[in-house]
Structure 1
Amino acid sequence: MTAATLLERTDEGGRGTGGAGRAKAGTRGAAGPGGAGAAEVDVASEGNRPARLGGRGWRAVHSVGIDPCARPEDGDVDVPVGDNLAMVLRGRPLPAADRRILAAFAAQAALAFEQRRLAEAAAEAGPLAEADRVRTALLAAVSHDLRSPLASAKAAIASLRSRDVIWTPTEQAELLATADESMDRLTRLVDNLLDMSRLQAGVLSVFPRQTGLDDVVPHALDELGPPGRTVEIQVPDGLPDIYADPTLLERIVVNLASNALRHSPEGTHPVITASALDDRVELRVIDRGPGIPAENRDRVFQPFQRLGDRDNTTGVGLGLALSRGLAEAMGGSLVTDDTPGGGLTMVLSLPAAWSVQQPVPAVVADG
């Protein structure tokens, strides 16, 4: 045989429907078993052969040999499979016994093609299903998690405006602090949503430079208010600076510390440590909480995951996913590790500043 081609019908109503049905084999210009001039032999039954010719379009799904056929009538032997596929051979006619073998082979080839088509359709549906899941989770976050800090702030302000109660200066300060903390929490939630959308769209701006952890970590914890002051910092003196965007790094530390505070049992406090390892600097955020089973470690970095959360009042499950994305955008990584004695450790690794060839500022000549 010079060429063997598997064709799929492309006319309207047939394209993409596959159709791995029974195979019937026909030849042109070959003598059938009963005498000369038999134009076609149907392996199944002559009356059930589908009408597939007459100007309909076809496309080659797969071909071997030279000069593949573009239509069933271009070959010496054509084997229709179902309503939308045909195996076409060019080179020489086949005897009846070989045509029966060819029909069986064509049916298997069509079945393999249909399985591949279904697998491709499933692969295309996967991202759509994930996008739908993220959209559903986002709507849930907007309807609940973003409204929660708004409700707290509104309640505090409404209490201050009430004419039925006379608040002491201390009580007024507490209510104002509640409103302020609630709005800060809302701001962080919105910032996380916006930055995650920028990451996924590939439009997040990153401005790395030489940065010291001893500056970034305390400033990040200050953003968490009183809870942030309970986090123990163990950053040694003389630690090499890192090469990172200080604003994005601060966002990572805020998210990791907030996550550690949320999972720390009463009476325990998260710890932040740092160390140099070759040309990297590692920042570890350690908590003594319940930890996460090894099989679920990767899931915590998926958007809108809240594994191990003890309540549904804080966060939208974006902090860790966003933090990993920000770390990778700066040439770093974020992984989980066990805490000796129980708990979870988040390990942020970033390049040391000395190991990165930093851009030299341009010098503009006078005159």
Structure 2
Amino acid sequence: MFAARLAEAAAEVEPVKAADRMRTALLRAVGHDLRTPLAAGWAAVASLRSRDVEFSAEDRDELLATAEESMAKLSRLVENLLDRSRLEAGALTLNLRATTLEEVLPMALADVPVAEARDVEEIPAVLADPPLLERVVANLVGNAARHTPPGRQVLVTASALAGRVELRVVDRGPGLPPADRDRVFEPFQRLGDTDNTTGLGLGLALARGLTEAMNGTLIPEDTPGGGLTMVVSLPVADLTGTTDEPPQPTEKPQPRGAAGRVR
């Protein structure tokens, strides 16, 4: 009886400990990730406002670019945190409709010059929320670019089979051991990164959560010849029926253990 009570008490305490660990990781990561772009943007704006220095046109453009990049980083951080919170609370609103890859890929690849999409024109439309699918692809492509050696490209391809479309984001990086393939989708993980300056580690966790909210799957595979391939699978849209549904809140997902060219 005493042992049973101890086991029950331990079971009740463990979720509290897990939540505390999550909050601690979040505070540490956000503290760093907020300070870095804020400091860079603040310095750029303060320099531009200074009356003590006469900047050349090139210097002004560089400072403005730094401020813009810093604000973009902050915006992505906040959006990822908000979407992750909505997923955890089961409060993310979806607008599922027939969506072509050509509709979302240009913006998803826009911030990653080494990314290229090939052979996506003939792929049927999928049933998805376009902005959320764009976020999924952008996060996957951005992650792949961080692990792709200089001079190599991130390749995005797609195929259709048995009522589903598989979108593949292919990199030629070091790959990922099978033992880490579930952990990489946990928040605040940066497996394979050499430092902690590349973001919260929310990108892959958010990508999987958003994909599953759209009735899809996201799994990693080995890239033939070396590297990692992220495979997004989504249902093909039924263009003969009604695909435009009113926005619906998602159910809370069950835990699981960004200039490109389109042609």
Q: What is the TM-score when the length of structure 2 is the normalising length?
A: 0.88
Match of 1:273 in 2: 157
The Cα RMSD (Å) is 1.9
Q: What is the TM-score when the length of structure 1 is the normalising length?
A: 0.64
Q: Say whether the 8 Å CA contact 1:243–1:356 is kept in structure 2.
A: no
Q: Say whether the 8 Å CA contact 1:209–1:244 is kept in structure 2.
A: yes
Match of 1:219 in 2: 107
Distance 1:121 1:234 in 2: 55
2:97 aligned to 203, 209, 234, which one? Answer: 209
Q: Say whether the 8 Å CA contact 1:231–1:270 is kept in structure 2.
A: yes
1:40-69: CA deviations, max 9, x gaps? xxxxxxxxxxxxxxxxxxxxxxxxxxxxxx
Equivalent AA in structure 1 for residue 53 of structure 2: V
Q: Say whether the 8 Å CA contact 1:221–1:254 is kept in structure 2.
A: yes
Q: Say whether the 8 Å CA contact 2:124–2:236 is kept in structure 1.
A: yes
Q: Shift in Å at residue 193 of structure 1?
A: 0.5
1:94-135: CA deviations, max 9, x gaps? xxxxxxxxxxxxxxxxxxx33333222222222212111110
Match of 2:260 in 1: none
Moved more, 236-245 or 349-358: 349-358
Question: Are 1:134 and 2:18 counterparts?
Answer: no
Equivalent AA in structure 2 for residue 239 of structure 1: I
Distance 1:119 1:156 in 2: 56
Q: Shift in Å at residue 347 of structure 1?
A: 0.8
Distance 2:140 2:160 in 1: 19
Larger radius of gyration: 1
Structure 1 residues 277 and 125, CA gap change in structure 2 (3 angstroms): farther
1:236 aligned to 99, 103, 120, which one? Answer: 120
Q: Shift in Å at residue 249 of structure 1?
A: 0.6
Distance 1:232 1:293 in 2: 25
Q: Say whether the 8 Å CA contact 1:279–1:355 is kept in structure 2.
A: no
Distance 2:193 2:51 in 1: 39
Moved more, 132-141 or 352-361: 352-361
**Matched residues, number:** 246
Q: Where does the alignment leave 5 or more consecutive residues of structure 2 unmatched?
A: 247-263
Distance 1:304 1:122 in 2: 25
Distance 1:270 1:322 in 2: 20
Q: Say whether the 8 Å CA contact 1:214–1:235 is kept in structure 2.
A: no
Structure 1 residues 310 and 212, CA gap change in structure 2 (3 angstroms): same
Q: Where does the alignment leave 5 or more consecutive residues of structure 1 unmatched?
A: 1-112, 363-367
Considering Cα pairs closer than 8 Å and 6+ residues apart, tell me whether 1 or 2 has the greater RCO: 2
Match of 2:76 in 1: 188
Percent identity over the alignment is: 59
Match of 1:334 in 2: 218
Match of 2:209 in 1: 325
Structure 1 residues 312 and 146, CA gap change in structure 2 (3 angstroms): same
Q: Shift in Å at residue 355 of structure 1?
A: 8.1
Distance 1:180 1:245 in 2: 27
